[in-house]
Amino acid sequence: MAKVVPFKGVRPPADKAHLVASRSYVSYTRPQLRSKLYENPYSFLHIIHPDMGSSKLHKTASPVERFELVRKKYADFKHEDILIKDPKNSFYIYRQIKNGHPFTGIIAAVSVEDYLNGNIKIHEQTLSKREETFTTYLDITDINAEPVLLMSPRSNELEKIYARYLSLRPEYDFTTTNKDRHQLWVIDDVKDVETIQIVFSQIDALYIADGHHRSASSASLCKKRNRERNGKGDEPWNYFLGYILDENTVRIFEFNRLVKDLNGLTEKEFLKALEKDFYVNLAPNNYKPVQKGEFSLYMDKLWYTLTVKVHTDDLDAQVLSDLILGPILNIKDLRKDKRISFLDGPKGMEGLKHAVDKNKFKAGFGLFPVGISELKNIADNHGTMPPKSTYVEPKLRSGLVVYETSE
């Protein structure tokens, strides 16, 4: 069973929602951040980057000092009524429409205990240093501003609730400059809240689609505070902010690979080395793999298909590492090797070609995306994916609904 609870969300008033909500900070370049901060005094980025001005980055002494500034700026936003706490415990229906594809799900507080006991399933291992840093951030700031994206089976009961609320005027309805539409409805009706909780209590497991470090850090915070404060299990830090979607509506794209050199090989020598494990053939322009076990290669203005000779159950990202990146190109650690970069699937083969043609990379590899059933099977069997195996949509906005982990 999955335990989710309503909460008093902290969020912007309707007239400022489009100004407050921001993309994840990691998606902005530094010049873009400075521009956003200069042009928009309401952006949630002012909270995430309190030490960055419009012209320069103001160095703080330590991450702890920076996190203290985050907490202070968040308090300022509340004091100025840019962010306001709801009076009632609520669930929130959030709907994002991207390129005509609707994503509709529930924003809720999700049980850390379910994460710890395996009712919330993972498919990726976290980096301990990053997890520790984010745990400190959560401990100091007391806010979850970007939900963990979770997948659940389709529920007829939830669909009925969605249909009823979607027929009403939303609390928020705005379109961002990337042409995504964002809508939000508040559910504080006692009967509807109870129905939603019952629906999720009957679900065996939820699956993390995106947000492994956020959920792992929330679990670390929970254990730390329960130990230090003699927690009883119902305090706010025993939950984290989640956005739960029907697994059939989540979109999983591939992460394609770009390499800066061929490890001393000529193009001809590299193609010859590939023939040991792959059938190598010329392909049409911008060729995209159409099945598992097939890769595209763009190099020296030409496209190729690489079809593995011996099929396995391994993910294609792992096959590429095991048969090409490691033994031929000597790229062993995808997290640290500066010779490899990753390109998210929505940029397509045209994006791959452009990156190589700009002379920043010697070759690009296109992969076939991981399926939902493949992801769930890995999680069910306690397996993990190689780094950058999936690019998941929707990408969620920070600051639309904030969950506070303080009492």
**CATH 3.30.1760 location in the chain:** 255-368
DSSP state of 52: B
Q: How far apart are CA 370 and CA 351, in angstroms?
A: 20
Which tokens hold the place of 313? 């159950």
Q: Nearest CA to 22 among 174, 244, 176? A: 176
Q: How far is CA 7 from the centre of its chain?
A: 22
Strands 206-210 and 120-121: parallel
Return per-residue pLDDT of the chain as tens, 407 residues.
889 999 999 999 999 999 999 988 778 888 888 888 889 999 999 999 887 754 455 556 688 999 999 999 999 999 999 999 999 999 999 999 999 999 999 999 999 999 999 999 999 888 788 899 999 999 999 999 999 999 999 999 999 999 999 999 999 999 999 899 999 999 999 999 999 999 999 999 999 999 999 999 999 999 999 999 999 999 999 999 999 999 999 999 999 999 999 999 999 999 999 999 999 999 999 999 999 999 999 999 999 999 999 999 899 999 999 999 999 999 999 988 999 999 999 999 999 999 999 988 999 999 999 999 999 999 999 999 988 899 999 998 999 999 999 97
pTM for the structure as a whole: 0.92
Just give the CATH number of 255-368.
3.30.1760
Q: Nearest CA to 296 among 284, 307, 305? A: 305
b/e map of 328-367 (b: 16 or more CB within 10 Å)? bbebeebeeeeebbebbbeebbebbbebbeeeebbbbbbb
Q: How far apart are CA 125 and CA 162, in angstroms?
A: 33
Virtual torsion, Cα 138, 139, 142, 147, nearest 10 deg: 20
Which residue in this structure is represented by tokens 């990146």? 325
Residue type, 316: D
First-to-last C-alpha distance (Å) of the chain: 26
